[in-house]
């Protein structure tokens, strides 16, 4: 298979390494940073540069760029993409990206599928990429249609070298709704929590709870601010619910209301047990 990968950071770099490690695949890569592009070539993660000419040879094109950049990149490359090619993005929001890219695919004749790999670390950049990043992870897919068995078989085969453990099929709206809760809220809460003055004195006083809660405070502010803004309506809704929930704990503490505080804590404990088990 001939694969083109646009964006060679943590996600794109790991995809490139996964396809190169999986067997006889030719991988062309693009990155706006020339140093990253050169390093990827030296590291053997790509066989050459993804250009309009090499894109015309690709059966699979993976776009691992920020949402707005992904749309603009696909718009510029669309006239050169073969009609039998499969294009999948890896962006963290789907409504904005899919609306624009479905239109481009329809206009130029190739197949576009929205995608979001559920894998990553708090580190970013090609130097942290690895071929096993997606092994066993979920890949969320937003297809143009939901009743095409041949398309799903094609997607599954095309993504097999990455090693995903599960493919989740959904709509762009449902994706953005769930990601606001499972990912974006976690980053907002973690990033806000670390701003306490007490954080500067935590060493020697913290164990696993602090580490777990603050891990994703170490984020890429350029990428996450764009993701938050593209999904701001849903994220604001989640934030409002969370702030309202927190106020109940504060009220119970302010009133020294032990029974109310215990009820709140037990409610959260029981819900966690119900959702995720022990």
Q: What is the pLDDT of residue 120?
A: 80
Q: Residue 254 to residues 46, 63, 65, 261, 262: CA-CA distances in angstroms?
A: 59, 50, 46, 10, 14
Average pLDDT score over residue span 15-41:
96
What is this structure's pTM? 0.92
Sequence-distant (6+) residues with CB within 8 A of 221 are none
Average pLDDT score over residue span 61-67:
97
Q: What is the pLDDT of residue 95?
A: 97
Asked if 2-170 and 175-276 have one fold, the answer is no
Could you tell me if residue 170 is left (phi over 0), alpha (psi between -120 and 50 degrees) or otherwise beta? beta
**190 — pLDDT class (breaks 50, 70, 90):** very high
Q: What is the pLDDT of residue 185?
A: 97
Class for domain 175-276, per CATH? mainly alpha
Is the pLDDT higher at 5 or at 201? 5
**278 — pLDDT class (breaks 50, 70, 90):** low
pLDDT for residue 115 is more than 90: yes
CA dist 4 and 16 (Å) reads 9
pLDDT digits (tens, 9 = 90+) for 244-264: 999 999 999 999 999 999 999
- The answer as to CATH 3.40.30.10 being correct for domain 2-170 is no
Residue boundaries of the structural domains of the chain: 2-170, 175-276
CA dist 15 and 270 (Å) reads 39
Q: What is the pLDDT of residue 122?
A: 77
């Amino acid at each position: 298979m001939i694969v083109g990968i646009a964006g060679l950071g943590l996600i794109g770099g790991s995809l490139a390494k996964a396809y190169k490690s999986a067997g006889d695949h030719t991988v062309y890569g693009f990155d706006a940073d020339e140093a990253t592009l050169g390093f990827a070539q030296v590291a053997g993660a790509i066989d050459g540069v993804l250009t309009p000419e090499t894109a015309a040879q690709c059966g699979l094109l993976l776009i691992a760029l920020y949402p707005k950049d992904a749309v603009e990149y696909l718009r510029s490359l669309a006239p050169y993409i073969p009609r039998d090619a499969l294009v999948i993005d890896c962006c963290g929001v789907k409504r904005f990206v899919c609306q624009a890219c479905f239109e481009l695919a329809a206009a130029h004749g190739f197949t576009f599928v929205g995608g979001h790999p559920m894998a990553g670390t708090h580190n970013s950049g090609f130097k942290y990429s690895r071929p096993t990043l997606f092994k066993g992870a979920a890949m969320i897919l937003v297809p143009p249609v939901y009743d095409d068995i041949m398309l799903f078989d094609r997607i599954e085969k095309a993504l097999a070298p990455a090693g995903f453990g599960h493919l989740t099929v959904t709509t762009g709206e449902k994706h953005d709704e769930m990601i606001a809760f499972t990912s974006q809220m976690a980053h907002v809460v973690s990033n806000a929590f670390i701003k306490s003055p007490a954080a500067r004195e935590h060493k020697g006083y913290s164990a696993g709870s602090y580490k777990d809660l603050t891990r994703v405070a170490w984020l890429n502010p350029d990428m996450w601010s764009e993701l938050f803004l593209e999904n701001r309506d849903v994220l604001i809704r989640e934030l409002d619910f969370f702030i309202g929930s927190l106020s109940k704990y504060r009220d119970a503490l302010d009133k020294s209301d032990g029974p109310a505080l215990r009820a709140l804590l037990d409610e959260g404990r029981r819900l966690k047990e119900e959702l995720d088990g022990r």
